[in-house]
């Protein structure tokens, strides 16, 4: 692993701020942060975080960079992003391994996360030639009307620990082709993966002289994060994290009438209808609930299953859970690694206790386990509980591998229960019945930002707009037309005649 750290530019002690490139690293003067691996609870490396002064240096560099970057033609900006995608391809394995080491997801998922960065780079390259505006017919003669999209400025990107690198790329690479500058504040749990990304892309930055276009500031949420959200020089804050934090950020950014993109917690459910293909439903549930040790925003947290198939479904699911190899995520055979820290295990235990207190029944798992060779790590069995959707704990996002089974007896009841939570991120139905499928996808169906049929709740592709409703925050990132949020729209009317007619037929002549 030391060779991988070295390859990614990670030393024993690392600077926590850069304006990009090999020489962009600051002599940071903030407090020391130690990155701990959840695999064995051992320290990996240290970071000297950014101080308030360091932050100011980065923002000033970012402002200067925007002056130039906004005037680089968008397709040329796209070529820079293409090179970033190419270099990420070269580093897919080592960066994926570092994601695993620092965050705990299994290697296949660590690599998959880097693949997502590569995919979004490809998408952004294409997008750089498609920043389309509409042309309208003016109501006035010899007038032309159209809208155009201009770069917005500095985008503050605040990311969560569970997708420590891909969420940066969703924002930074789209923002870059839009002509924006990004300042990234990663989670304090995963600073090293962020530092590694900056080292990886440094040759591209240097080749094109792009100091200040892709910035990194590592610091406490309450300090650097708080300063960013209050900072009027940052017109857009894109934040991924818990709903509680998102509400705080929405208030702070809203108070200064800045823009925010909020990607917050989910409470995602799969409806399993009486005619569902149970093999597919069980496999999708297993991946959705146990993958990333239950720490995806799109993790399947609730199964709403028809009572006719519930016993068979639960029996097969429990058997499948029994086959999950929990172990060191750096070893290829492991299907589930540790959760990120001890607090996550405690939140799982508290949720199980709360559900039991409401009348719930534990069907599987929930115990702490020790993995040989990884004694200090945070390993736990994924849990399944039979509950009622009405229990207060079921309405919360417990960010751990805990799956609730909820019985239903009719499609209307299933959809009502499905929607009866405060969050609205991802959703799915397993059915062969086209009436059920279409109802689920109709305005009286799922109220989530993502609604799938015969596919689980997690594992979205980058081509669609990603995000959710209600307490999930309403933000959309990644594909589709998410790029528009990183630009400012300008409506332009050109009068190419010699008269000055007013809109709505108004006459305003002095004589
Ligand atoms: P978190 O809310 O604890 O932290 C998120 C980020 O906010 C971190 O970078 C943190 O340092 C920063 N922060 C903390 N205080 C701040 C402040 N005062 N001002 C500005 N920033 C501050 O979230 P987490 O535990 O890292 O991540 C897990 C959560 O993220 C879950 O709720 C999960 O559902 C959610 N998530 C959502 C999506 C999505 O796309 N909807 C994706 C991934 C994760």
| Closest Cα to atom 13 of ligand 1 | 221
How much is the mean pLDDT over the chain?
Answer: 97
**3-state SS class at 310:** helix
Q: Considering the chain, what percentage of its residues have pLDDT values greater than 70?
A: 100
Q: Is residue 461 within 8 Å of 486, Cβ to Cβ?
A: no
User: What was the pLDDT predicted at 77?
Assistant: 98
Mean pLDDT confidence for 328-352 = 97
User: What was the pLDDT predicted at 226?
Assistant: 95
Question: What are the boundaries of each domain within the chain?
Answer: 2-264+473-490, 268-466
Is residue 490 within a helix (H) or strand (E), and if so which, with residue range? strand 487-495
DSSP 159: -
Closest-lying ligand 1 atom to the alpha carbon of residue 299: 34
Residue 221 C-alpha to ligand 1 middle, in angstroms? 9
* Tokens standing for residue 447: 């109220």
User: What was the pLDDT predicted at 459?
Assistant: 86
User: What was the pLDDT predicted at 318?
Assistant: 98
Q: Which residues contact 81 (CB under 8 A, 6 or more apart)?
A: 121, 124, 125, 128, 173, 176, 177
Indicate whether residue 245 lines ligand 1 (CB < 6 A): yes
What are the Cα distances from residue 25, in Å, to 3, 165, 180, 446?
Answer: 22, 19, 21, 47
115-164 pLDDT, tens digit each: 999 999 999 999 999 999 999 999 999 999 999 999 999 999 999 999 99
Mean pLDDT confidence for 26-44 = 98
User: In which band, very low, low, confident or very high, does the pLDDT at 1 lie, cut at 50, 70 and 90?
Assistant: confident
User: What was the pLDDT predicted at 416?
Assistant: 98
353-391 pLDDT, tens digit each: 999 999 999 999 999 999 999 999 999 999 999 999 999
Catalytic residue at 413?
A: no
Q: Is residue 84 within 8 Å of 121, Cβ to Cβ?
A: yes
Catalytic residue at 263?
A: yes
Alpha helix (H) residue ranges in 105-185: 107-127, 166-177
Closest-lying ligand 1 atom to the alpha carbon of residue 189: 26
Catalytic residue, from 297, 374, 408, 448: name it: 297
User: What was the pLDDT predicted at 112?
Assistant: 97
Indicate whether residue 25 lines ligand 1 (CB < 6 A): no
Query: Which architecture does CATH list for 2-264+473-490?
Result: 3-Layer(aba) Sandwich (3.40)
Residue 85 C-alpha to ligand 1 middle, in angstroms? 26
393-446 pLDDT, tens digit each: 999 999 999 999 999 999 999 999 999 999 999 999 999 999 999 999 999 999
* Tokens standing for residue 289: 């609930």
* Tokens standing for residue 303: 């199964």
Query: Which of 222, 240, 246, 256 for a ligand 1 pocket mutation test, highest count of atoms within 8 Å of Cβ?
Result: 240
Mean pLDDT confidence for 170-191 = 98
Query: Which of 16, 156, 157, 160 for a ligand 1 pocket mutation test, highest count of atoms within 8 Å of Cβ?
Result: 160
Length of the chain measured in residues? 511
Residue 239 C-alpha to ligand 1 middle, in angstroms? 7
238-284 pLDDT, tens digit each: 999 999 999 999 999 999 999 999 999 999 999 999 999 999 999 99
- On the question of pLDDT at 511 being above 80, the answer is no
User: What was the pLDDT predicted at 509?
Assistant: 84
- On the question of pLDDT at 320 being above 90, the answer is yes
- On the question of pLDDT at 13 being above 90, the answer is yes
Is residue 313 within a helix (H) or strand (E), and if so which, with residue range? helix 310-322
Q: Which residues pair with 197 in a beta bridge?
A: none
- On the question of pLDDT at 2 being above 90, the answer is no
Determine the longest span between alpha carbons in the chain, in angstroms.
Answer: 93
Number of neighbouring beta carbons within 10 Å of residue 71? 9
Burial per residue of 180-195, b for 16 or more beta-carbon CB atoms within 10 angstroms, e otherwise: bbbbbbbbbbbbbbbb
| Closest Cα to atom 1 of ligand 1 | 241
3-state helix, strand, coil in the chain (%, to 5): 40, 20, 40
- On the question of pLDDT at 230 being above 80, the answer is yes
Cα–Cα distance for residue pair 52/177, rounded to 1 Å:
29
On the question of a common fold for 2-264+473-490 and 268-466, the answer reads no
Indicate whether residue 163 lines ligand 1 (CB < 6 A): yes
User: In which band, very low, low, confident or very high, does the pLDDT at 5 lie, cut at 50, 70 and 90?
Assistant: very high
The full DSSP string for 395-455 is GS---SSEEEEEEESSHHHHHHHHH-SSEESEEEEE-S-HHHHHHHHSTTS--SSEEEESS
Closest-lying ligand 1 atom to the alpha carbon of residue 163: 43
CATH class of 268-466: alpha beta
Burial per residue of 26-45, b for 16 or more beta-carbon CB atoms within 10 angstroms, e otherwise: bebebeebebbbbbbeeebb
CA-only gyration radius of the chain, Å: 24
Angle between helices 92-103 and 74-90 (to 10 degrees): 70
Indicate whether residue 425 lines ligand 1 (CB < 6 A): yes
Residue 21 — left, alpha, or beta (φ > 0 → left; ψ -120 to 50 → alpha)?
A: left
User: What was the pLDDT predicted at 510?
Assistant: 80
| Closest Cα to atom 39 of ligand 1 | 263
């Amino acid at each position: 692993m030391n060779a991988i750290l070295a390859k990614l530019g990670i030393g024993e002690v690392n600077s926590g701020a850069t304006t990009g490139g090999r020489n962009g690293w600051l002599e940071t003067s903030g407090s020391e942060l130690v990155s701990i691996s959840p695999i064995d609870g051992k320290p990996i490396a240290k970071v000297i975080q950014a101080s308030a002064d360091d932050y100011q240096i980065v923002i000033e560099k970012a402002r200067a960079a925007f002056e130039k970057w906004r005037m680089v033609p968008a397709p040329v900006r796209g070529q820079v992003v293409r090179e970033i995608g190419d270099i990420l391809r070269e580093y897919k394995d080592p960066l994926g391994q570092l994601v695993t080491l620092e965050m705990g997801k299994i290697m296949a998922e660590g690599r998959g996360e880097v693949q997502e960065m590569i995919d979004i780079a490809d998408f952004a390259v294409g997008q750089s030639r498609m920043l389309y505006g509409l042309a309208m017919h003016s109501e006035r003669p010899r007038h032309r009307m159209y809208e155009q999209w201009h770069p917005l400025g500095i985008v503050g990107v605040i990311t969560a620990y569970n997708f420590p690198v891909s969420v940066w790329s969703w924002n930074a690479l789209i923002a870059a082709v839009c002509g924006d500058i990004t300042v990234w504040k990663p989670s304090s749990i995963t600073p090293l993966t962020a530092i590694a990304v900056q080292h990886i892309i440094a040759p591209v930055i240097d080749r094109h002289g792009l100091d200040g276009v892709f910035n990194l500031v590592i610091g406490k949420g309450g300090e650097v994060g708080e300063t960013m959200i209050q900072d009027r020089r940052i017109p857009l804050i894109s934040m991924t994290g818990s709903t509680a934090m998102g509400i705080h950020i929405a208030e702070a950014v809203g108070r200064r009438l800045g823009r925010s993109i909020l990607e917050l917690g989910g409470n995602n459910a799969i409806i399993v209808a009486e005619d569902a293909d149970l093999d597919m439903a069980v496999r999708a549930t297993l991946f959705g609930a146990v993958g990333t040790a239950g720490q995806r925003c799109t993790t399947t947290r609730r199964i709403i299953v028809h009572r006719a198939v519930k016993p068979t479904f639960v029996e097969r699911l429990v058997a499948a859970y029994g086959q999950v190899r929990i172990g060191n995520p750096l070893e290829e055979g492991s299907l589930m690694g540790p959760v990120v820290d001890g607090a996550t295990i405690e939140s799982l235990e508290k949720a199980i206790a709360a559900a039991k207190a409401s009348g719930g029944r534990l069907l599987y798992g929930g115990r702490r386990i020790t993995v040989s060779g990884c004694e200090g790590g945070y390993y736990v069995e994924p849990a399944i509980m039979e509950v009622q959707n009405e229990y207060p704990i079921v309405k919360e996002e417990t960010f751990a591998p805990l799956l609730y089974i909820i019985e239903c007896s009719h499609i209307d009841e299933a959809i009502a229960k499905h929607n009866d939570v405060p969050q609205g991120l991802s959703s799915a139905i397993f059915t062969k019945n086209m009436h059920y499928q279409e109802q689920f996808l109709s305005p009286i169906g799922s109220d989530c930002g993502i609604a799938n049929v015969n596919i689980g709740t997690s594992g979205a592709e980058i081509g669609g707009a990603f995000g959710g409703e209600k307490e999930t925050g309403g933000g959309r990132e990644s594909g589709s037309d998410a790029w528009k949020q990183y630009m400012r729209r300008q409506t332009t009317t050109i009068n190419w005649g010699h008269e000055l007619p007013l809109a709505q037929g108004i006459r305003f002549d002095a004589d």
